[in-house]
A and B are shown apart, each in its own frame.
Chain A
């Protein structure tokens, strides 16, 4: 290895961290790289933000804050210093690697894929960048391949043929590549590469992916300037070409349980005609948008939150809160239109549910008499709970509560409270049959609100406090809002906030926010149990299990908040956005 080169690279290494972000020079022929991929591409990805990220390197504020955190220590322990790894890689490839990638892709990088059931997928790549850098990199790469195969470098470096002015290299059965003037094309077969070469300069070619109307719409509507990576998937085409897993994903929308648990937006995303993904790396956030375009009519249209409604206000956020959110679950429509919405196979489950739920509502038809009176927006709050001193569970979990509004609080309030009392009674009967502890049902007046709650008899000292003591089910009716929670203390707190009008308006669509710090606290509080669980369940050594649990805690502690939001940006388009806030303000 050339010691001068090593020295030069080591000297240049700090520049990886400190080089200012240069504005990417537009190449002479800025044809969209997507236009160079063939029309049959079903999975597409581009990386418009890659050159800028590579120029910032480890100085990117988000990467820097990760590396400055305990997670950075874990990374260094596990794989070594990222800075030194980059220097090592740079030495290996003979040039500073990140600046080289920036130069190679500053005019765009696009990757296309066409899965083939039972066969190798077709893969194609188009990239545009600095012509001299591409020439140099290709020569170096081909030289290394030649060396590994024991061939004279000149044998491989020299192009094997020229097609429409592009130099072409055939490298075995699975890679053919071409280069000219900073444009690099590659494909898994020669015919595809030649079609890509033919697309060069033909902006109106119908055989190009760029001519696909679904692709065009997705890209213009759902790719932002901040995208680091943007991807498009032709879900309808993939259903026949990809493995069976996608078919199962697309069938989720017909499953009532998925609709109820995931919500209609998430459940229907996979059923869309096409999908778009965008990954953004901000100074203090990592964001992922998943969009389903042209979701099916029917289930989606009927069960997804209408575009013009907003969730009701929730009790104001308090310090140390674990999670909160608002979801839209239109149970009334689910039950009323079950025959149209879901396949015949699941209809008996609706009948059984209707029958069982009637037990809690004095024999009423829940579908007709209860659910239509409940707002589909359901609030959710999770906070650490102050347990009774005599009943602090050995594995303490945060409490959680849901909040539901009713259009008829005066009649539905007592009905809902009675339903909870009936549920506790039924649970008690089952527990008594198994000689298990039962819950006593109690009432408490708190700031003018009656709290109904069940509790287990205080555990006997030194006999252990079981997981069940995390449960002190409680409910209350405050104005038009019914609060149902896992613990009396939480329900009292929320009822008090509602009564005092201490409220916060949640985001417009469905949302869920989770505090990383609280998750980290829960992990730390239960570290011994989690470590032992990993040893017993996964067969890990104690050291390995502890390292992983502490790593998980460090990752959680790094995340200020995790936010999941869903929206309906267009009539038949659905969007789920995941945002990790890291090392910054909320």
Chain B
């Protein structure tokens, strides 16, 4: 069976599949949106067409940035995610923030960090080739990977290495000499104030050989050579598949989807449109297939429960940091390692405390009374909670534990909170 085989238009969706689409392509959907999601075309249209944020956030961000405080910027991004006005745009921005990982801990300029993520927002769904060229000239990236220090006669290899290894090709598709030669090609690219500058007097204009091509190459030439390399489309396709479909796609799947990427002229949006209709994405291999990152899990939980507007985005961003994902501050140029590394003793404790705290109202009190439906009474609570939060199915012991918790609670409100807390802290809930 071809991994790119697609469902036909107008395909009716079951509840679990609808939940899966919203969870992976966005940050979940509340009960009302989910109940209306019976048609794949309509769901995808909903996800692809919502792209406008509230005016307050766009017109207010410049003054917010002037305060030079990364925590405020983290809260701002979290509020964009939680308000759910542009779910796919923010999903993709988060993906590229991890892929082109850049940290304010070194950049030390929230305006540059914001501009970079805005680049991901504006072009993340567009032509990947344009995105890679733009990232190569992005001031935050140039500060992060020492562009200013890359000068003729004293090449700095940091950016050249990452554009080959992490951003464009992956290990095994270049050698050390390619890195050295590419670094010379990027020499002279730097930042003046907050703008990209090409300081020609620092550029090494002698002949270089990168990925088998010789010439007086510059940075743009190297980016083009990376994009032209057969491994590039595979590398990008693998990144997109790992994020949106299966965490470890097979080489055959990668090769086939790399061909799709080229066929859609490197358009991330058109690639995703096709992916979201594919059996690979909609089938069982992609369901609850990887451990969710803190941002996607927290945002998905709050949006799904319909309580995202009841919490302070600053607190949510802080909680995600405690769980190991501090926005604008990935731990290294490799981004967050993800997978099993999301969950170790410290971060699991943080997840447990934060999610049970959310349900049990240890922190800000959120109103869960309509999260599972307005007319759900206590005996139906366990089933309703599983239908909303684990629509792919919960195993019997968990269902029994939830039913027992509902039964043993002293009040209906206790039952609601106990069941929610138990479900949110169940290991299977942390798979996405």
A-side residues, CB < 8 A to B, are 393-395, 434-436, 459-460, 463-468, 526, 528-529, 531-533, 535-539, 541-542
Contact = CB atoms under 8 A, between A and B. Distances in A.
A179 to B, nearest CB: 43
A537 B54 contact: no
Contacts of B66: 393-395, 464-467
B62 interface: yes
B336 to A, nearest CB: 23
A436 B72 CA distance: 20
A467 B54 CA distance: 25
Interface in B175-225: 193-195
Contacts of A435: 108, 143
A467 B56 CA distance: 20
9 contacts: A464-B194, A466-B65, A466-B67, A528-B59, A529-B64, A536-B72, A536-B314, A537-B75, A539-B313
Given A435-B108, A468-B68, A528-B63, 16 more contacts: A394-B66, A395-B63, A395-B66, A395-B67, A459-B193, A460-B194, A463-B194, A464-B65, A529-B60, A529-B64, A532-B60, A532-B63, A535-B79, A539-B309, A539-B310, A539-B364
Nearest to A541: B309
Interface residues on B, range: 20 to 34
A467 B195 CA distance: 19
B79 A434 contact: no
A524 to B, nearest CB: 14
Interface of B: 54, 56-57, 59-68, 72, 75-76, 79, 108, 111, 143, 193-195, 309-315, 364
A538 B108 contact: no
Which 8 residue pairs are nearest across A and B when measured between Cβ atoms?
A539-B312, A394-B66, A532-B60, A536-B75, A529-B63, A394-B63, A463-B194, A460-B193
Contacts of B76: 532, 536
A541 B67 CA distance: 22
Nearest to A534: B312
B63 A463 contact: no
A390 to B, nearest CB: 13
User: Which of A529, A533, A535 has most B Cβ within 10 Å?
Assistant: A535
A374 B64 CA distance: 40
A468 B111 CA distance: 13
Nearest to A539: B312
B331 to A, nearest CB: 20
Contact of B60 (A393, A460, A466, A528): A528
A535 B67 contact: no
Given A460-B194, A467-B67, A535 B62 contact: no
Nearest to A468: B68
Contacts of B195: 460, 463
A177 to B, nearest CB: 37
A533 B56 contact: no
Nearest to B77: A536
Given A468-B68, A536-B312, A539-B312, A531 B60 contact: yes
Contacts of B57: 532
Contact of A531 (B56, B72, B313): B56
Contacts of B64: 529, 532-533
Contacts of B310: 539
A394 B62 contact: yes
A241 B79 CA distance: 46
Given A395-B67, A536-B72, A464 B111 contact: yes
A463 B79 contact: no
Contact of B111 (A463, A531, A533): A463
Contacts, number: 79
A348 B75 CA distance: 38
A465 B111 CA distance: 10
Contacts of A532: 56-57, 60-61, 63-64, 76
A501 B313 CA distance: 53
A526 B79 contact: no
User: Which of A459, A467, A541 has most B Cβ within 10 Å?
Assistant: A467
A526 B57 CA distance: 15
Contact of B313 (A434, A464, A465, A536): A536
Contacts of A436: 108
A526 B63 contact: yes
A541 B65 CA distance: 21
B72 A542 contact: no
A533 B65 CA distance: 11
Contacts of B62: 394, 464
Contacts of A526: 63
Contacts of A535: 56, 79, 313
B368 to A, nearest CB: 16
A393 B111 CA distance: 14
A95 to B, nearest CB: 40
B224 to A, nearest CB: 29
A293 B310 CA distance: 47
Contact of B193 (A394, A463, A533): A463
Contacts of B61: 532
B312 to A, nearest CB: 3
Contacts of A465: 66
A459 B309 CA distance: 37
Contact of A467 (B68, B315, B364): B68
A528 B57 CA distance: 10
A437 B260 CA distance: 47
B178 to A, nearest CB: 29
Contacts of A463: 111, 193-195
Contacts of B194: 460, 463-464
Nearest to A434: B108
A39 B245 CA distance: 77
Contacts of A538: 312
Nearest to B107: A435
A531 B57 CA distance: 10
A539 B315 contact: yes
Contacts of B364: 539
A394 B195 CA distance: 19
Nearest to A469: B66
A71 B15 CA distance: 51
Nearest to A526: B63
B422 to A, nearest CB: 25
Contacts of B111: 463-464, 466
Nearest to B148: A435
Contacts of B313: 535-536, 539
A537 B314 contact: yes
A394 B65 CA distance: 9
A537 B312 contact: yes
A538 B313 CA distance: 8
Contacts of B54: 542
Nearest to B315: A539
A460 to B, nearest CB: 5
A191 B54 CA distance: 64
A463 B194 CA distance: 7
Contacts of A468: 68
A531 B54 CA distance: 13
A435 B314 CA distance: 28
Contacts of A528: 56, 59-60, 63
Contacts of B68: 466-468
Nearest to B192: A460
Nearest to B143: A435
A2 B193 CA distance: 77
Contacts of A533: 64, 72
Contacts of B315: 539
Contacts of A464: 62, 65-66, 111, 194
A440 to B, nearest CB: 16
A289 to B, nearest CB: 38
A393 B66 CA distance: 8
A48 B333 CA distance: 71
Nearest to B55: A542
